[in-house]
Structure 1
Amino acid sequence: MQICLVAAIGLLISTSVARGITLIIFVSGFTSCMVALGFAFKRSILTSAYILLSGMACMLFAFAYTGAGLFDLAILGYPGLLIIAALLGSVGVFITVLLIIITQCILLTWLTLNHIITPYTPSLSWPHLVFIVVIFTITGFSVYLLVRDMKRLMLSLQGENIKVQQSKAHIQHLAHHDTLTNLPNRLFGEQLFQQSLLACQQKQQKLALFFIDLDNFKPVNDALGHAAGDELLKQLALRLSAILPPEHYLIRFGGDEFLVLAPTTVSDQQQLDVLAATLIQQSASVFTLLQTQVAVSASLGIACAPDDGTDFKQLCRKADIAMYKAKEDGRNTYHYYNDTLDQANNDKFKLLQLLRQAVAEQQLLLYYQPKICLSTGSVTAVEALLRWPQPDGSMISPDQFIPLAESSGLINQLGSWVLHQACSHCAQLRQQGFNALRVAVNLSVVQFKDGRLQSIVQDALNAAELPAQALELELTESLLIDNTDHIQRQLNGLSQIGVTLAIDDFGTGYSNLSYLRSFNASTLKIDRSFISNQAQWQANASLVQAIIQMAASLGLTTIAEGIENAEMAQRLAELGCNEGQGYYWSPAVPLAQLPALLAKLQRLQN
């Protein structure tokens, strides 16, 4: 539109000094400019360009045809047309105009050489100056527009390039940093590890990798919400970053797990001990979340390069193994990686594969140990104890495979099988004449998670046609700690169908007697660690007596585990303990030997 308008104004000025055929040509050119302006106004850019440029080309050809041919002043306008065509940015328009100009020049040359037209050189006059000024003005204005637009485009491109670089840097930052804490993420952490390791190797130093895991983070999320948990992680990140020395890096590994890369001298383990203690102290400090004072703790695992390897992923795995060892050691502490930890994990993995096969093929067996009334000597019940016999005649201890079954989820399948087997065996023994016999089965807290425990127990009782009163379920104190409505409802349901509940290993955990009423427990088992030898009995006799007296005041039956001799049985009976269980009467025996054992104990009673 600007070019059309300037060209139209220039031609209009030229008409004021033109005469004859020159005036007619200028008017025609002016008309084509106005038509092109109209199409440009309607955004028909290509149409406007073709009309303007073809009109101008024809006007210049007319001037050259009626004037000096190729030597006419009008030929000076052709470069302007090419500039305008290039300015409009269409290859088609530019090529079309170029071909038109070349064709017109060839035609003028042919017409001149064949004496069809006779060029003449007009005498110089002021109108000729006007024509030249108009041509230069239109051409110069077009060049100005072209250069101005190019500058604007370059500035715009520079601005966009800056934005792209900023966006690229931002995207790279997001790709390499955790969005919550703004710490380096696991991906960037690996790069920092490689850089730090190279620097340490050049300085003949070690690079320690700390694996930090918060011990009590989930309850924060559960009680206060994920927003509070996120705020805790941000505050922790700021605290740990503030205490790290130069050339140390804090990395968010994921969830509530962090890594610290710490260069250290080859022989200075004390430096790492101090740093580990400081990290634990900072993690255990009180956090203020939603106007609530919250305290957590952290467990740390430490692996060092190059001693424990130089691969980032492998070093993280080893530090993670050491961290879990710290959790096993009581949490809120740290542990260094060593090869024995790896071997222990490999052993656990292999044992788990064997356990899966054993559960699928029902290789495990139930053994039974009688419970004896201390006052009468009669058998009150038998406890079902899981055993895993091996082809060589040895046994794998339940202390080894039960935790694996719990952590792997096998405990539900295994626990269901134990309940059905124990109920079936108890029913068989009752039919063989042991009419009042009851069976006790141990439960894991994991068996309560899916909410199906009551139906499994009921199915086992129904399948064996065993009355519910003949089944006692033994619960560990860890279940009391996990006191939730979900577990409470299931325990209430079990009590309502007639199953009795006993608390196993009492005295080794929180030992909160007030829980016993809420869980409808009827029996309390005193842990064997209090009475298994003379030294322990002397140290714990007063505590055992207090437990028996408190249990009696709550109307609970007490059973002492681990009784080894008649003297211990007599002492416990004198303190008021109701029942006993231990090698004094019998170790756990397989089902095939149980009827004979029960008959023998009955004879001894009589």
Structure 2
Amino acid sequence: MDKPLFPEPSNAPPQNPAFEATIDSSQHLHNRLKRLETHQQLAAQTTGIGFWSIHGHHLQFELDAITRKMLGLPEGRETLSIEDTLQHVKRSEQWPLWSQYMQLLPSGQLLPEILMQTDLHVHIPGESPRILQMKARVFGTEAPQSLLGVVWAKDTPIQRPELPFMHRDPLTGLPNRAYFMERLGQHLQMHMLSRLSCAVLLLDLDRFKEINEQHGSPLGDEVLVSVARRLQSCLPPQDLLARIGGDSFAVLLTGVQDQSTPSRTAERLLDCLSQVHALPSGLEVHVQGTIGIALFPQDSERPNQLLGFAEDALSYAKQQARSGYFHYQQHARQEVLDRRTLTRGLMEAVQHHHLELHYQPIITPNQPQIRKAEALLRWKHPEKGYISPAVFIPLAEETGMIHLLGEWVQDTVIQQIQAWDQEGLPPITVSINISARQFLQPGSMQHFLQQLENHGIPPERIIIEITESVFLQDQQQVEQQFKLLQQAGIRIALDDFGTGYSSLGYLTRFNPHYIKIDRSFVNQIGSGQSDPIIEAILSMGHHLNKTLIAEGVETPKQAQWLTERGCHHLQGYLFSRPVNAQNFSALVRNFSKE
């Protein structure tokens, strides 16, 4: 008997185990997808997050109910064209970049790792304007690709997903350098497919080392955390902020159309940063920063080079004037490279003893002996000869090498005083210039006093010269350092008096022993311009019982004018240029014979 063409269905279980397994697997997958869909709906209803997608095959938005409601779109239409979807949306500056990305979905050219985010301003008739935040990631590696995203009201408390530890700065919680460079490389590849630019902004805090030195690293950490939060609050969500070094922060701006955008962003960041920072420890600090800017593709198309050019722009900005910003330029790069070469040379000079101390005598009118001298640091470069202190001293302060230089000067002066004493010279008191940073560095002056004691040098043989800029620092710390040195027997001279932040309050509160009249006033003696100023300084010094030293004395007329008005000591080329220790010894001996 022939078998029926269409046999009756049987209740017997299938006899093919592989087919049965496939059915079970499909049913399991179907159930799992249904559970995920249910969880998604619950999550959306609970948090107010909407879900959407764009498939590269038809380039249309697929929206869930929450997304349609937030955009003010009619119900029942789950698929809309891009233009229909965004008819109520004010496009953000990032939207041209998104548009470019969406057009690349059919060809499969987008990188799946790219995370896109932007703000959308929605205007629904009859309702108040609202700001939505949108985030999306590319799905798929082959053509056509899709874009899967979420959207939520910006005032909804959505917590940012925490980065993996390997990509996160442990102190501030910001992305670290590795993550920033990874994202920068991805975005540069994407921007090569469009006609849009992006920018790297590199921000360094001004004089952050001084905060650490004066208050300690725990408070410095509080400042960094406060700065990170402040900067993050000033940036829209699509801009990537990272901490890439000690006090260095980097910002990546994507989809830049207007070339003024990086400058406006830099100005906004510096303004936000300059507002007072109230720290958990109870202190309030003022912080400022400097920014370097490099643009893609104008400056470079390579991630490391782009960041390097931003660093060059930052270095150049610091040279010109801190608390500003500067765009990378080729001529500036050469200056930065020269400065870096000079920095390396200065470090080698410290290590290989290419530094020298020269000594300029300080003369007491009508006294037959030289009893005082100012120690002046000189750097003799093996190829360029003597480098001006006006060049390398600011460089040392900026790089932190000023402490190494300061210690070298102090040790050398101590050894030289001992050598002169052994030669039989009359006791020479040596004046040493100390920067504000070194003066206030914890332990620095204590170390110097200990060195004097170890070598048997009376503190009275030392004068510490500081400029008026030191009074801009923490007043309590300044007062403590003054008392420490004065109680030990060291006398303090206020250098360049009248050119900076002069105040009678400083003279009475901190009570320096010497006041040094700046050479800019002495040079104009007889012209009628500076005479009243110098006479006022001399009169004030006499009434406050200060010892007065005039710098830059170059003519007998200047020396006579100052001596007649009671200036206690004179210093300048009229008597001698700064000379090395050996020539200074001869100068002292010959001066005594004259």
Q: Normalising by the residue count of structure 1, what TM-score does the alignment of the two structures yield? A: 0.60
- CA drift at 1:543: 4.0
The letter for the 2-side match of 1:241 is P
2:290 corresponds to which residue? 299
Structure 2 counterpart of 1:454: 446
d(CA) in 1 for partners of 2:359, 2:443 = 28
For residue 587 of structure 1, report the CA deviation from its aligned partner.
0.3
Aligned to 1:481, which of 472, 477, 487? Answer: 472
Establish whether residue 259 from structure 1 lines up as the match of residue 236 from structure 2.
no
Name the counterpart of 2:59. Answer: none
- CA 543–233 in structure 1, closer or farther in 2 if over 3 Å, else same: farther
2:547–2:568: 8 Å Cα contact kept in structure 1?
A: yes
Counterpart in 1 of 2:573?
A: 583
State the distance in 1 between where 2:404 and 2:504 align: 31
Q: Quote the residue 1:439 is aligned against.
A: 430
| Distance of 1:333 and 1:413 partners within structure 2 | 29
2:236 maps to a residue whose letter is S
Q: Is 1:327 aligned with 2:322?
A: no
Give the letter aligned to residue 559 of structure 1: I
Distance 1:416 1:296, change over 3 A: closer
Asked if the contact 2:202–2:248 (Cα under 8 Å) also holds between the matched residues in 1, the reply is no
Partner of 2:497: 506
2:466 and 2:337 map into 1 onto residues whose CA distance is: 30
Secondary structure (helix, strand or coil) at the match of 1:584 reads coil
Matched, 1:426 2:417: yes
Match of 1:174 among 163, 166, 169: 163
Q: Which residue of 2 aligns with 1:471?
A: 462
Aligned residue type for 1:571: W
Amino acid at match of 1:303: A
1:239 aligns with 2:234: yes
After superposition, residues 175-190 of structure 1 pair within 5 angstroms as 175=164, 189-190=180-181
RMSD: 4.9
* Residue of structure 1 in register with 2:7 after alignment: none
Question: SS of the residue aligned with 2:163?
Answer: helix
Give the Cα separation in 1 of the matches to 2:210 and 2:381. Answer: 41
Deviation at 1:491, TM superposition (A): 4.2
In the alignment, the residues of structure 1 paired with residue 279 and residue 347 of structure 2 have an alpha-carbon distance, to the nearest angstrom, of: 44
Paired position in structure 2 for 1:525:
516
User: Which one has the bigger strand percentage?
Assistant: 2
5 Å-filtered alignment, 1:141-160, equals 155=31, 159=35
1:384 aligned onto 2:371: no
Which shifted more, 171-180 or 325-334?
171-180
Q: Is the 8 A contact 2:498 2:517 kept in 1?
A: yes
Distance 1:413 1:217 in 2: 18
Q: Secondary structure, in 3 states, of the residue corresponding to 1:303?
A: strand
Would the aligned equivalents of 1:240 and 1:282 in 2 still touch at CA under 8 Å?
A: no
Unaligned runs of 5+ in 2: 1-11, 44-112, 114-136, 138-158
Higher helix share: 1
Provide structure 1 residue ranges, at least 5 long, that are not aligned to the other structure: 1-77, 84-88, 90-145, 243-247
CA distance in structure 2 between the partners assigned to 1:456 and 1:421 by the alignment: 12
- Deviations along 1:491-535, one digit per CA (max 9) or x if unpaired, are 433323322222223334333443445545211223334444579
Instruction: Work out whether residues 253 and 262 of structure 2, in 8 Å CA contact, stay in contact via their aligned partners in 1.
Output: no
Instruction: Check the 8 A contact 2:525/2:558 in 1, yes or no.
Output: no
1:599 aligned to 2:582? Answer: no
Separation (CA, whole Å) in 2 of partners of 1:542 and 1:260: 56
The answer as to whether partners of 1:475 and 1:502 remain within 8 angstroms in 2 is yes
Q: Letter of the 1:572 partner, please give it.
A: L
In structure 2, relative to structure 1, the CA distance for the partners of 1:531 and 1:250 (3 Å cut) is farther
SS at match of 2:234: helix
Q: SS where residue 203 of structure 2 aligns?
A: strand
TM-superposition CA deviations, 1:211-241 (whole Å, max 9, x none):
2344487899969996686456434433343
SS of equivalent residue, structure 1 residue 435: coil
When residues 159 and 585 of structure 1 are mapped into structure 2, their CA distance, relative to the original with a 3 A threshold, is farther
Distance 1:377 1:345, change over 3 A: farther
Aligned-residue offset at 1:470 = 1.7
1:370 and 1:269, CA in 2 relative to 1: closer, same or farther beyond 3 A? farther
Cα-to-partner distance string for 1:509-566 (whole Å, 9 max, x where unaligned): 333443445545211223334444579x765544444443433333221222222222
| Displacement after TM superposition at 1:578 (Å) | 2.4
- Tell me the alpha carbon deviations over residues 271-299 of structure 1, each in whole angstroms, 9 at most, x when there is no partner: 65555445444544567888999764442
- Secondary structure of 2:236's aligned partner: helix
Distance 1:447 1:355, change over 3 A: farther
Q: Given that residues 548 and 568 in structure 2 are in contact (C-alpha distance below 8 angstroms), is that contact kept between their aligned partners in structure 1?
A: yes
Structure 2 matches for 1:353-432, cutoff 5 A? Answer: 353-374=344-365, 379-391=370-382, 394-406=385-397, 410-430=401-421, 432=423
Verify the 8 A CA contact 2:177 2:243 in the aligned structure 1.
Answer: yes
- The percent identity for this pair of structures is 32
Q: Which residue of 2 aligns with 1:14?
A: none
Count of residues paired in the alignment: 456
Residues 557-566 or 355-364, more deviating: 355-364
1:230-285 CA-partner distances (Å, limit 9, x unpaired): 4564344333439xxxxx735234556241426556xx866655554454445445
Q: Distance in 2 between matches of 1:576 and 1:433?
A: 31
Q: Distance in 2 between matches of 1:461 and 1:413?
A: 20
Specify whether residues 349 and 524 from structure 1 end up closer, same or farther in structure 2 by C-alpha distance, changes over 3 A only.
same
Partner Cα distance (2:457, 2:30) in 1: 90
Displacement after TM superposition at 1:370 (Å): 0.3
Q: Give the 3 Å change call, closer, same or farther, for CA 177–412 of structure 1 in structure 2.
A: closer
Q: Where do residues 118-133 of structure 1 align in structure 2 (5 Å cutoff)?
A: none
- 1:490–1:340 CA distance, 2 compared to 1 (3 A): same
1:83-120 CA-to-partner distances (Å, cap 9, x unmatched) read 9xxxxx9xxxxxxxxxxxxxxxxxxxxxxxxxxxxxxx
Residue 336 of structure 1 aligns with which residue? 327
172-181 or 410-419: which moved more? 172-181
Letter in 2 for 1:583: Y
Give the match's secondary structure for 1:331: coil
Mapped to 2, the partners of 1:384 and 1:341 lie a distance apart of 35
Instruction: Report the CA distance between 1:586 and its aligned residue.
Output: 0.8
Q: CA deviation at 1:591?
A: 1.7
Cα distance in 2 between the residues matched to 1:180 and 1:518 = 40
Partner amino acid, structure 2, of 1:418: V
Counterpart CA distance in 1 for 2:219 and 2:457 is 46
Counterpart Cα distance in 1 of 2:284 and 2:378: 47
Q: How does 1:271-282 map to 2 (within 5 A)?
A: 273-274=263-264, 276-282=266-272
User: CA shift at 1:328, angstroms?
Assistant: 3.6
**AA matched with 2:322:** R
The answer (yes or no) to whether the contact 1:276–1:300 under 8 Å persists in 2 is yes
The one-letter code sitting in structure 1 at the alignment partner of 2:232 is: A
AA aligned to 2:163 is L
Describe the SS at the equivalent of 1:563: coil
Structure exhibiting the larger radius of gyration computed from Cα positions: 1
Q: Contact 1:472–1:502 at 8 Å: present in 2 too? A: yes
CA distance in 2, matches of 1:195, 1:519: 58
